[in-house]
């Protein structure tokens, strides 16, 4: 992948070296495989597909390499983009590493995370399709806050179902969403059939899968549409502004510089795809051209950092599964722990989703990306060190990427190499001080999930489609 082609889709603003990208990068144009098709689940009730505007579905299915960003969306992005890319020199000195560590910071917008990138794009398309109100589910609150902000921008009402355990741990997230005009409900709730069912089963702490099902049920109200945040291919597409900007910023620092390792935390996949996909294109191109080389020191490695408490890539199974607990949405082929899996309570609430985006899953199944699972105490140890060195407090989710970068630097030092490491610092942790208090007080537990617990959840997977129904599995 010539860097010049990536940079051609970023138009410099007056007086700025890097500006907001003019187009999103679509990895499907270069993947060399088709994604397994979604399969109807057979459940009753409203389904996801009719909820999504045709303009977004076209993006989901497109193999066009560059998808133009609407000017109104770019204008909104310009309020906080481009986001800064920095070298973590103080962290490097503290570690005594020869590695060069860079991070792309996405926490400087009103909502405090990368989620606003796709929230703004989706609100724009939903408004154009005639939606009056968006219903969403959120784990730790970043997605709910982002959609609340986007709805405020485009004149839409907003209903948020937030996982109850996370809402109780982060009450200020609810305040922020309500400040932006959203209605926020703890999930599971008495407001929906799904919520009442899980409350009756004693699952009162909630999961993102349950919250998704409750949000989907809201779409029975005319004018209300369901809005997905991380797992859908179009959400990952919208996030590629992160990696596109990072490529341009690295080139501005030193022409021709590319990372050797790209790292991001993995919930469902939008943060990871956003920073990794533009760089991964080079590896895909080298794979397809006999004898081609990407650059000295390659091949590029892309590492998904996930919590040991919800290890869908490292311990999950690549099968068809529901995307939520309603059992009504289309089945998608993904790495999953099972849609009924209930993670042990942990502080990185945004990483508690049971499954993985189908495009990330397909890449992992083909060995094109890597994954590592980390315990939360080691993650917070790295986050505290990063905050002391670099002056930014990472969100617990983002801290997994911080720890991944530190672990990679240590491995490189042991091997006698000096790689360039780039990671996504996807959000700040100023709403997560209770989690940091728990770490500092020494009462933060690590979580070890017995294999039997995962197998029990996987045993409840839906019936798998016949080969004819899923023939395009690549």
Q: Which two tokens stand for residue 304?
A: 């998904």
Task: Give me the domain span that covers residue 301.
Answer: 77-111+235-459
pTM: 0.91
Distance CA 142, CA 239 (A): 14
* Secondary structure (DSSP) of 367-409: TSSEEEEE-HHHHHHHHHHHHHHHS--B-HHHHHHHHHHHHHH
Q: Which residue has the higher pLDDT, 311 or 5?
A: 311
What is the chain's alpha carbon radius of gyration, rounded to the nearest angstrom? 21
**For 280-311, what is the HEC assignment?**
HHHHHHHHHCCCCCCCCCCCCEEEEEEECCCC
The 10s digit of each residue's pLDDT in 425-440 is: 999 999 999 999 999 9
Peptide bond into 156 cis (omega under 30): no
The 10s digit of each residue's pLDDT in 24-39 is: 999 999 999 999 999 9
What is the β-pairing status of strands 420-425 and 261-265? parallel
Name every residue whose Cβ is closer than 8 Å to that of residue 243 and which is 6 or more positions away in sequence: 25, 262, 274, 275, 276, 277, 278, 279
Q: Are residues 180 and 155 in the same domain?
A: yes
Note whether residue 337 is domain-resident: yes
Distance CA 471, CA 474 (A): 8
Would you say 44 and 84 are in contact if contact means Cβ atoms under 8 Å apart?
Answer: no
Q: Are residues 306 and 423 in the same domain?
A: yes
Q: Are residues 174 and 271 in the same domain?
A: no
Q: Are residues 212 and 167 in the same domain?
A: yes
Domain ends where: 228, 243, 263?
Answer: 228
Does an H or E element contain 163, and which? strand 157-163
Note whether residue 30 is domain-resident: no
Residue 293 has pLDDT above 50, yes or no: no
Confidence of residue 456 (pLDDT cuts 50, 70, 90): very high
Q: Which two tokens stand for residue 1?
A: 């992948």
Q: How far apart are the first and last CA of the chain?
A: 23
Domain tally for the chain?
A: 2
CATH of the domain at 84: 3.40.50.1100
Q: Are residues 369 and 436 in the same domain?
A: yes
Q: What is the pLDDT of residue 339?
A: 93
Residue 277 has pLDDT above 70, yes or no: yes
What is the overall mean pLDDT for the chain? 90
Q: Are residues 180 and 272 in the same domain?
A: no
Would you say 105 and 32 are in contact if contact means Cβ atoms under 8 Å apart?
Answer: no
Q: Are residues 331 and 400 in the same domain?
A: yes
Q: Which residue has the higher pLDDT, 470 or 101?
A: 101
Domain ends where: 228, 243, 264?
Answer: 228
Q: Which two tokens stand for residue 369?
A: 């990306």
What value does the mean pLDDT take over residues 182-207?
Answer: 93
The 10s digit of each residue's pLDDT in 364-411 is: 999 999 999 999 999 999 999 999 999 999 999 999 999 999 999 999
Give which of 449, 412, 319, 354 is closest to 95, Cα–Cα.
Answer: 412
Note whether residue 148 is domain-resident: yes
Domain ends where: 204, 228, 252?
Answer: 228
Q: Are residues 181 and 326 in the same domain?
A: no
């Amino acid at each position: 992948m010539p860097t010049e082609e990536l940079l051609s889709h970023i138009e410099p603003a007056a007086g700025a070296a890097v500006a907001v990208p003019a187009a999103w990068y679509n990895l499907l144009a270069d993947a060399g495989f088709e994604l397994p098709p979604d399969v109807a689940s057979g459940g009753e009730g409203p389904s996801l597909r009719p909820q999504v505007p045709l303009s977004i579905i076209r993006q989901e299915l497109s193999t066009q390499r560059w998808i133009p960003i609407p000017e109104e969306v770019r204008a909104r992005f310009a309020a906080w983009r481009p986001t800064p890319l920095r070298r973590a020199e103080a962290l490097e000195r503290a570690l005594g590493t020869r590695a060069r560590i860079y991070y792309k910071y996405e926490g400087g917008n009103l909502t405090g995370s990368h989620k606003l990138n796709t929230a703004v794009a989706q609100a724009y398309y939903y408004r154009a399709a005639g939606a009056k109100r968006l219903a969403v589910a959120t784990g730790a609150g970043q997605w709910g806050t982002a959609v609340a902000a986007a709805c405020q921008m485009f004149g839409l009402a907003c209903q948020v179902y937030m996982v109850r355990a996370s809402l109780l741990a982060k009450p200020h997230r609810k305040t922020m969403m309500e400040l932006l005009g959203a209605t926020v409900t703890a999930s599971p709730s008495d407001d929906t059939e799904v919520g009442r069912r899980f409350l009756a089963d004693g699952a009162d702490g909630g999961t993102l899968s349950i919250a998704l099902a409750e949000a989907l049920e809201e779409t029975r109200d005319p004018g209300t549409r369901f809005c997905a945040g991380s797992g859908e291919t179009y959400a990952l597409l919208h996030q590629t502004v992160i990696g596109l900007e990072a490529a341009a910023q690295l080139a501005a620092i030193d022409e021709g510089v590319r990372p050797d390792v790209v790292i991001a935390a993995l919930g469902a996949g939008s943060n990871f795809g956003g920073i990794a996909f533009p760089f991964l294109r080079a590896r895909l191109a080298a794979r397809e051209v006999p004898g081609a080389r990407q650059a000295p020191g390659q091949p590029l490695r892309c590492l998904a950092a996930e919590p040991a408490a919800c290890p869908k890539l490292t311990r999950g199974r690549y099968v068809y599964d529901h995307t939520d607990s309603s059992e009504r949405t289309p089945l998608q082929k993904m790495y999953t722990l099972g849609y009924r899996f209930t993670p042990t309570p942990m502080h990185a609430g945004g990483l508690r989703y049971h499954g993985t985006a189908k495009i990330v899953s397909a890449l992992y199944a083909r060995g094109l990306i890597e994954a590592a699972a980390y315990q939360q105490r080691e993650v917070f140890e790295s986050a505290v060190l990063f905050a002391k060195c670099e002056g930014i407090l990472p969100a617990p989710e983002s801290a997994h990427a911080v720890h991944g970068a530190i672990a990679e630097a240590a491995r490189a030092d042991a091997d006698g190499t000096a790689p360039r490491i780039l990671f996504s610092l996807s959000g700040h942790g100023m709403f997560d001080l209770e989690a940091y208090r728990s770490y500092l007080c020494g009462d933060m537990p690590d979580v070890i999930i017995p294999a039997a617990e995962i197998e029990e959840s996987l045993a409840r997977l839906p019936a798998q489609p016949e080969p004819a129904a899923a023939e395009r599995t690549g």
